[in-house]
Amino acid sequence: MGWKQKLGADIRNARESANLTQRQLAKRVKISRQMVSRYEVGRDVPVVDVLARLALELDIKFEVEGVRVSFDQLSQRLRLRSVPKQLRLDFEKAQRFHRVVLDITPREGEIFITAKIPA
């Protein structure tokens, strides 16, 4: 099983443990039911902001290629849906950002990513 399929199985297992249908989860995370299905079978991989919403909604930490991915609740003044499109991160893609402070901190098998957007 590849990492995409494992991530998909983790999403499906967490959704089922939360007694949610794909449609219910999709509505809570603001994506289509079809995308939830595509994630669960490993056909597509959620971008980081969608993965964060999934993790928060399902109260789970994900593991991608041996790296644990977890998200904490955000402050009220910054919501994931308000993150500018240029800050979207895709797995296995290099990204460059202009006018953004991006801290990436590896710690004991985890990577913490913090982005600060100047006002």
Residue 90 counted as domain residue: yes
Residue 78 counted as domain residue: no
Q: Check if the beta carbon of residue 80 is closer than 8 Å to that of residue 47.
A: no
- Domain of 39 in residue numbering reads as 3-71+84-116
pLDDT computed for residue 92 by the predictor: 58
User: Would the pLDDT of 76 be above 80?
Assistant: no
For the chain, what's the residue count? 119
Strand order in the sheet with 110-116: 62-64, 67-69, 110-116, 101-107
Residue 48 counted as domain residue: yes
Residue 77 counted as domain residue: no
pLDDT computed for residue 97 by the predictor: 62
- Provide the whole-model pTM: 0.63
- Domains in the chain: how many in total? 1
- We report the CATH number of the domain holding residue 26 as 1.10.260.40
